[in-house]
């Protein structure tokens, strides 16, 4: 009979020593850079075009993004408010033109309406006036060869309903804290100042 083969005993597995965890040390410059980077990320301006924010005044890009957002929100608001007042299918410009035609109950010329609203293209305002005439909320009169526009009774009634809805939905939502009116007033002043700045820049760009 064959003798059984001897199997050599296996060597016990080597025990690995636990490796020491060495904390990562940063020098003062690296730590400072990380802190500055963290602060920049925390206070980075909110913009929609980061390539324009790389300038001497990055705050302007932040303002422009706010202007875009609030401008679109304002347009959406006045269109829906006027629709709730009974006039559907109007664009934001149409609503603004109707309000200004009604302003101080004075007859308005096409050129004066465009100038006040800072609309360069008279055809845009003229198109809005045609829409308002078709809705029979605006009427015309003549002073010599000039055509003047004013709101009729239907237009006045629509604007009264608009004002009521605005008071209930928008004005009532504003904070009643002391000083809020001053803040809104100062913001309006800054916006008018910046509109002049952009107008000057537009003329400068045209001459390039």
Per-domain boundaries in the chain:
60-174
Instruction: Indicate the pTM of the whole model.
Output: 0.76
Looking up tokens 């001459």 gives 207
Q: How far is CA 18 from CA 11, 21, 23, 143, in A?
A: 21, 9, 15, 98
Q: What angle do the packed helices 153-169 and 58-84 form, to 10 degrees?
A: 120
* Class for the domain spanning 60-174: mainly alpha
Tokens of 50: 């980061």
pLDDT tens track for 55-100:
888 888 999 999 999 999 999 999 999 999 999 999 999 999 999 9
* Angstrom distance (rounded) from CA 160 to CA 199: 34
* Angstrom distance (rounded) from CA 129 to CA 109: 11
pLDDT tens track for 132-182:
999 999 999 999 999 999 999 999 999 999 999 999 999 888 866 667 888
Q: Are the C-beta atoms of residues 101 and 149 closer than 8 Å to each other?
A: yes
């Amino acid at each position: 009979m064959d003798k059984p083969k001897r199997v050599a005993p296996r060597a016990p597995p080597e025990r690995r020593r636990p490796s020491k965890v060495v904390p990562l040390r940063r020098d003062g410059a690296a730590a400072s850079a990380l802190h500055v980077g963290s602060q920049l990320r925390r206070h980075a301006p909110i913009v929609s075009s980061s390539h324009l924010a790389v300038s001497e005044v990055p705050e302007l890009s932040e303002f422009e993004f706010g202007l875009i957002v609030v401008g679109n929100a304002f347009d959406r608001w006045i269109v829906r408010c006027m629709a709730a007042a009974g006039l559907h299918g109007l664009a934001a410009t149409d609503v603004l033109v109707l309000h200004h035609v009604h302003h101080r109950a004075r007859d308005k010329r096409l050129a004066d309406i465009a100038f006040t609203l800072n609309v360069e293209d008279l055809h845009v305002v003229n198109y809005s006036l045609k829409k308002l005439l078709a809705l029979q909320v605006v009427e015309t009169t003549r002073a010599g060869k000039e055509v003047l526009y004013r709101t009729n009774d239907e237009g006045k009634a629509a604007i009264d309903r608009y004002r009521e809805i605005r008071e209930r939905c928008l004005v009532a939502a504003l904070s009643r804290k002391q000083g809020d009116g001053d803040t809104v007033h100062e913001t309006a002043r800054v916006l008018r100042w910046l509109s002049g700045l952009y107008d000057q820049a537009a003329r400068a760009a045209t001459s390039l």
